[in-house]
Amino acid sequence: EGKIVSSDWKVGGLVGEAENCTFDNCSSSATVTGPSSVGGVVGEARDCTFNKSRSTGTVTAAGWSGGFVGDAINCTFTKCRSAGNVIGKPSLADNSSTYACRIGGFGGYVQSGCSFADCYSTATVSASDDKNVGGFAGFVDGDSTTSMVSFTRCYTTGAATGKTVVGGFAGHLEYCNMEDCYSKCTTIAIGEDIGSGITSAQLGGFVGEITDTRTTINLTRCYAMGKVNAPASSGYVSLVYAGGFS
Per residue in 4-61, pLDDT (tens digit) is: 999 999 999 999 999 999 999 999 999 999 999 999 999 999 999 999 999 999 999 9
Q: Please give the C-alpha separations between residue 218 and each of 85, 111, 112, 206, 212, in angstroms, as whole numbers.
A: 29, 16, 15, 14, 14
3-state secondary structure of 95: coil
* Model pLDDT, residue 236: 44
Q: Please give the C-alpha separations between residue 50 and each of 31, 41, 45, 146, 188, in angstroms, as whole numbers.
A: 20, 10, 10, 22, 30
Beta bridge partners of 193: 199
* Model pLDDT, residue 206: 95
E runs forming strands in 98-225: 101-104, 107-110, 115-117, 120-121, 124-134, 137-141, 149-152, 155-156, 159-167, 170-174, 176-179, 182-183, 186-189, 192-193, 198-204, 207-209, 217-220, 223-224
Mean pLDDT (whole number) for 99-117? 94
Neighbours of 51 (CB within 10 A): 14
3-state secondary structure of 98: helix
* Model pLDDT, residue 235: 45
User: In angstroms, rounded to a whole number, what is the distance separating the alpha carbons of residues 52 and 66?
Assistant: 17
Per residue in 167-214, pLDDT (tens digit) is: 999 999 999 999 999 999 999 998 887 776 677 788 899 999 887 667
List Cβ neighbours of 97 (8 Å cut-off, separation of 6 or more): none
* Model pLDDT, residue 212: 66
Average pLDDT over all residues of the chain: 90
User: In angstroms, rounded to a whole number, what is the distance separating the alpha carbons of residues 173 and 143?
Assistant: 10
User: In angstroms, rounded to a whole number, what is the distance separating the alpha carbons of residues 73 and 113?
Assistant: 6
Mean pLDDT (whole number) for 103-115? 97
* Model pLDDT, residue 244: 63
**Backbone torsions φ then ψ of 226, nearest 5 degrees:** -80, 165
